[in-house]
Amino acid sequence: MELWFLGTSAGMPISGRNVTSVALRMPQNRGTFWMFDCGEGTQHQLLRTSFKLSRLEKLFITHLHGDHVFGLPGLLSSRSSLGGTEPLDLHGPQGLREFMETSFRISGTHLNYPLQIHEIVEGKVFEDEAFSVEAAKLDHRIESFGYRIAESPRAGALNTALLADMGVPSGPLYGKLKSGEDVSLEDGRIIRSSDVIGNPLPGRVIVVLGDTKPCASAIQLARGADLLVHEATFSHDLAIKADDYTHSTALQAAETAQAAGAKRLLITHFSSRYKPEDLSGLEAEARSAFPYTDAAIELRPYEIPLN
């Protein structure tokens, strides 16, 4: 799994930085990607990556401010023009359906695939056998959500040393045991899968927050996350301004990561006052409270390794 930032600027784009969007490359066996927010120009950014819109499976909107949604009608229309036919799930706050239906109606846009719009409330918004997604409200001027993407636990490791000691020949029997199937040996012994497989391995947890000032729900949602994406609109010398506009500083993002026990923090959503060369200062500010912080760089893959 990899996280790609397609835009890291707050409010409006600047030279070298687009407005907010994040792409999450799902595991290879799934063959798809998910997106979080879709600011203006997002599909142009996608053209600079290996992502194919036809493989976009789910799109989650944190809130309806323009720098997070103004690229959405165009991107969904292009997905249709590029031959996308698989259904697409679109999740987001109340008002998302009206925004999309109005945009399509006025522009005469027709999609060649089913678009399923889900206006969410707090709690679990998606679950299948491999992943679940939980949403929680944050503290912003308008309704804004954060999303916790949790991978299901994986089967534990096969104890091959024990199997060798037991005289179980390697090969297809190992595969059956790994898949949870008990096997019978030629001498009549039955080897139970549960006896030779270790404890389940925890899945990865990625948390992507929308715009927010520091709040308890952000900490709770990010509890123990392998990777936390948190806005850092301002440096901490502008903490009063950040509070007035219900945003966070780089230091406050780091304090949230520290309080949540997250393993890694990527800060994003930088005010246009900060040029690319200024981001190292925001990064250093955050690292003073949480050393495992990086200022997100657009179009660079951030790997999320297996636990």
Instruction: Kindly write down the DSSP assignment for every residue of 91-134, as one continuous string.
Output: EESTTHHHHHHHHHHHHT---SS-EEEEE--SEEEEE-SSEEEE
Residue 297: pLDDT over 90 = yes
Q: Can you name the residues that pair with 26 across neighbouring β-strands? A: none
Asked whether residue 260 carries a pLDDT value surpassing 90, the answer given is yes
Mean pLDDT of all residues in 31-59: 97
CA proximity to 193, closest of 181, 211, 175? 181
Of 12-21, 29-38, 177-186, minimum mean pLDDT range:
177-186
Question: Catalytic residue numbers?
Answer: 67
Binding site for Zn(2+), residues? 63, 65, 67-68, 140, 211, 269
Q: What pLDDT shows up at residue 199?
A: 84
Per-residue b/e over 38-52, b at no fewer than 16 CB within 10 Å? bbbbbbebbeeeebe
- Give me the percent of the chain exceeding a pLDDT of 70: 100
- Determine the distance from the C-alpha atom of residue 220 to the mean position of all C-alpha atoms in its chain, rounded to a whole number: 16
* Phi, psi for residue 25 in degrees, rounded to 5: -75, 120
Calculate what percentage of the chain has a pLDDT beyond 90. 85
pLDDT digits (tens, 9 = 90+) for 202-227: 999 999 999 999 999 999 999 999 99
84-136 pLDDT, tens digit each:
999 999 999 999 999 999 999 999 999 999 999 999 999 999 999 999 999 99
Average pLDDT over all residues of the chain:
95
pLDDT at 169 > cutoff 90: no
Do 266 and 166 contact (CB within 8 A), yes or no? no
pLDDT over 90 at 197, yes or no: no
Residue 57: pLDDT band with limits 50, 70, 90: very high
Tokens for 103, please give them: 């945009």
Quote the pLDDT of residue 286: 98
At 146, give phi and psi (nearest 5°): -115, 155
pLDDT of res. 215: 98
Domains of the chain: 2-153+208-303 (3.60.15.10), 160-196 (no CATH)
Residues of each annotated binding site: 63, 65, 67-68, 140, 211, 269
Say what the pLDDT of residue 54 is: 94
In 55-201, alpha helices (H): 66-69, 72-81, 96-107, 160-165, 172-178, 193-196
In a 13 Å sphere around the CA of 71, the CA atoms on its Cβ side amount to 27
CA 231, CA 89: separation in Å to the nearest integer? Answer: 25
Q: Give residue 171's pLDDT.
A: 87
State phi, psi for 126 to the nearest 5 degrees: -160, 145
CA 14 to chain centroid, in Å, comes to: 24
pLDDT value at residue 35: 98
Calculate mean pLDDT across residues 10-18.
95
Taking 90 as the threshold, does the pLDDT of residue 167 lie above it?
no
Half-sphere exposure at residue 280, Cβ-oriented, CA atoms within 13 angstroms? 1
